[in-house]
Structure 1
């Protein structure tokens, strides 16, 4: 039961001394969560109150099913933008239908996450490489910032998930700027950015919410067309069953699967970052999928759109000293009290203030140091990052992720199709055999021996490359060559195509009156050598544990026992 209900592991051990820290952390995160949740709901194209609804049931469920002690779950900017981008491609008419589809999307996201968790498919997220994540995240942050110009300027600027369209739309309506909205937004940005620099522990977001609301109320700025949140429905969200149809599922499953993986990636990466700080490993990837899936699925019945872990709130939660997810429960209580008793206070909250919160919050997601590092060290990975960034900006968010992942996989395939192939020589006065290109004059190179190392698995994608490189070096040795030794330490697998190729290569080498040895093959590779028939053309006595043994056998067959003989002797002894 502890595997699927992690709270059974930590709750019985809960120490009363933890509660004080959890209480402070929960209140601190709750203060940030309320305005942030409302702001992120706006990014998703939903009324602000749905950000509060998403801060109730999902967080409560994760608190008991999640395996991380510090991460803070709830609405986040990235997923909110993906929700807007995904639903924006569908023909949805009316606010109510849009809300209904957003809630159904959360259910589908949770269903995919639950399914992947029960099938133990958490490893799938590993196919999203860091260059793809960095490029996508930075581009999404830029789109989010520019999408808030309509609230910052108080102008009727059309929404879009394409950067160039957002810029064009903004320029077309720049003259409609409401100076009061712009002033509120600009002051909000300056306050939050300044406090982040000089007073990091002070809740600057709360200060912006209070000051801007008071300004609207006392100066009657609504009469000057300042856009406000307006009436926020009081009370907790009601329970609603989704209207399940095949058409809905067909329309929404691609964006749901994308959000399921992106949300999981955010949660697992944030959780692991805090694990490194705490030096305690608690995260179980597949259980995280189940926890997030349950949060999204059950939350959707209580009018919650999709949630995942928030880096900013998780950092605040950690710095405030949270010890367990009881801190998250306290944050939920704060949101519930707000919905029950404090919603009238948000009537005068200007949308420009929420825009300033969003802009500053996501600006930190734009990473310039990592691309610079890649440009200096790995230009091929830099190109993956750059293309992901540009496609996300110009074509679409989902397209950017998919093309980025595809390019990463193609780059991986290309690298494995032409892996490192080294010619080895004996380091003078030692038993070590190293790359002759790296050690130069320190290496003894014999004209009658070719020793090579292939630093990859042998499979259909690189078998032709292996053969061509090997015969290139054999040809370079000339007629004096008498033996080839393959150092197989780095070969952890040989597929059927490569096995057939290797048998053919060994036969060709034998026809040249050159002997072929294999040294250093690990257990699984050695099994394949015997099972695939390679051993039939190689001969058992030409399989060695180390290169030096193969060389010694070549020089004098009577001086060394082959690997096969050693294994047989060991079995007899046992």
Structure 2
């Protein structure tokens, strides 16, 4: 094996080698600024999302070091900002919270084991090249689920914002009712900190998306609590002691019972985390003109979670907001993520005393501002204009997720996407074709009023593959359109330009159609049959039974032959 071939093979396994070998001095400034900027954003976010997951805030910081370093080496995106994210944090809380008391040692151990399981699942999906499975998740369904989950996440932080001991629930109505019935018991100082934080974050965001709004808000709130001693004099809830130093390497506690119990939520987080990551990674890669490999992304995210779990990290994924900030700040390569990880590692070793007085209310405001930005109102407006069937799917998923909760909502979303995909393929679009005057072109008669049909001849185009799932639809459509004809059917022309595959069930249906038509003295003609479809027809004997002279390159030629037969 030559050195060049060896280098290519190694680069396939470690994508970072490509940007490391070709690193330009001019990229350093952007990577350095982006690394520092994301650090200032990630520290408060990581602590907030750990709290959202029901974990101690330092677990979020642990999840912001090793996973970032590993992904920088094995991921294919140069701008994706990996770390704790709101959606995954809520799924951790929803899944693990049903198995162990939130905040207990058992809960923390299971959350870390969950990170290992998520990593193994994602790695295996990448190794077996299963990245394509996310293509079955329709965008409207994802949008509906994400918007509903954002509301659930946001309202779950209301207890920290108002200083009330509200029960942990995904029922928004229950949360609001309990809050309204305890208005007099609200902590006015916590409410002032939380609402002030939201106003400040929104204001800073309007000024510039590059400003580290979360860090600024957290710093101001922390100084206020520390300066006025509000944790003691007013009872303001704070983060408290954060263990100094970096966690030691240790393999998560493995328990067969825990693994079986966590498997459904691990599968869910694996898919949701990957979808969130690949969506933003592909968008930015398209802008930067480079390619994202979905399977390598799975491997990179999987290894990030596996290694992270061995340093007491919660499950991680790529975040929308942080990735956008990373790109806007000038990130050119994975070095930006390395810089972020190193700076957070330094903060863990030397700066943990500064985290003691951070009020939980300000962390809640950071979460609320971040997740409410995920509510996709634009998609609703877009689908209302473009595709109202898809809007119905979005609304159904949104309502169902709010009613059933995040864990069941995501399963419903996946199932609904699959069902909708099957429905679309089993009931494909079709068109009755007519000839445009003074041309040899055939178009859908419903869309072209001037398109002329031929007496006794029915020309149809099905815009999908022929397979067992739509065989009945094909037969029923032919019968229905024949019944609508003014003159009796004598010849059927099938335009196969959109048919890429033909399975055995569809081929059998064509044999049956041909047999029935010959009994009725109706002939059958084809146009635009593609090579792979023609090969199946030849192997099954259909071409020989029908006759090769019944296949044409154009629809016009096929209709002329059908007209000649009908008039003969």
- TM, length-normalised to structure 1: 0.93
- Which residue of 19, 29, 36 corresponds with 1:27? 36
1:269: which partner in 2?
279
Aligned residues: 555
Post-superposition Cα deviations, 1:8-61, rounded to whole Å, max 9, x if no partner, equal 111011112211211111011111111111111000000111111000100010
1:488: which partner in 2?
496
Contact 1:240 1:301 survives alignment (8 Å): yes
Contact 1:483 1:514 survives alignment (8 Å): yes
- Which residue of 121, 129, 136 corresponds with 1:127? 136
Matched, 1:309 2:301: no
* 512-521 or 64-73: bigger deviation: 512-521
Matched, 1:400 2:409: yes
- Which residue of 366, 378, 384 corresponds with 1:369? 378
Quote the offset at 1:346 in angstroms: 1.1
Partners of 1:327 and 1:69 in 2: how far apart?
8
Partners of 2:102 and 2:466 in 1: how far apart?
55
Spell out the pairing of 1:126-525 with structure 2 (5 A cutoff).
126-223=135-232, 224-278=234-288, 280-440=289-449, 442-477=450-485, 481-525=489-533
Quote the offset at 1:261 in angstroms: 0.6
Contact 1:457 1:493 survives alignment (8 Å): yes
Quote the offset at 1:556 in angstroms: 6.4
Post-superposition Cα deviations, 1:355-410, rounded to whole Å, max 9, x if no partner, equal 11111111111111212322333232222211211222121212111112222222
Contact 2:43 2:215 survives alignment (8 Å): no
SS at match of 1:486: strand
Matched, 1:52 2:46: no
Partners of 1:534 and 1:78 in 2: how far apart?
53
Partners of 1:243 and 1:301 in 2: how far apart?
10
Distance 1:479 1:195, change over 3 A: closer
Partners of 2:540 and 2:229 in 1: how far apart?
83
Contact 1:488 1:518 survives alignment (8 Å): yes
- Which residue of 96, 101, 107 corresponds with 1:98? 107
Partners of 2:560 and 2:403 in 1: how far apart?
63
SS at match of 1:90: coil
* 286-295 or 537-546: bigger deviation: 537-546
* 520-529 or 445-454: bigger deviation: 445-454
Post-superposition Cα deviations, 1:190-217, rounded to whole Å, max 9, x if no partner, equal 1111111124332222221221111111
SS at match of 2:331: coil
Contact 1:507 1:537 survives alignment (8 Å): no
Partners of 2:230 and 2:559 in 1: how far apart?
88
* 475-484 or 123-132: bigger deviation: 475-484
1:16: which partner in 2?
25
Which ranges of structure 1 fall in alignment gaps of 5 or more residues?
558-574
Quote the offset at 1:324 in angstroms: 0.5
Quote the offset at 1:172 in angstroms: 4.4
Quote the offset at 1:495 in angstroms: 2.0
* 203-212 or 331-340: bigger deviation: 203-212
Partners of 2:144 and 2:247 in 1: how far apart?
37
Post-superposition Cα deviations, 1:162-182, rounded to whole Å, max 9, x if no partner, equal 323322343344332111111
Distance 1:552 1:93, change over 3 A: closer
1:527: which partner in 2?
535
Partners of 1:475 and 1:147 in 2: how far apart?
58
* 158-167 or 328-337: bigger deviation: 158-167
SS at match of 1:3: helix
Contact 2:136 2:421 survives alignment (8 Å): no
Post-superposition Cα deviations, 1:255-287, rounded to whole Å, max 9, x if no partner, equal 001100111111110101102222x12311100
Partners of 2:439 and 2:221 in 1: how far apart?
76
Partners of 2:82 and 2:503 in 1: how far apart?
44
Post-superposition Cα deviations, 1:436-473, rounded to whole Å, max 9, x if no partner, equal 23222x33322132222122222222212211221333
Quote the offset at 1:419 in angstroms: 2.1
Partners of 1:348 and 1:302 in 2: how far apart?
25
Contact 1:474 1:481 survives alignment (8 Å): yes
1:571: which partner in 2?
none
Quote the offset at 1:504 in angstroms: 1.0
Contact 1:157 1:173 survives alignment (8 Å): no
* 451-460 or 310-319: bigger deviation: 451-460
- TM, length-normalised to structure 2: 0.94
Distance 1:94 1:187, change over 3 A: closer
Contact 2:141 2:417 survives alignment (8 Å): yes
Quote the offset at 1:478 in angstroms: 6.2
1:541: which partner in 2?
549
Q: CA RMSD in A?
A: 1.7
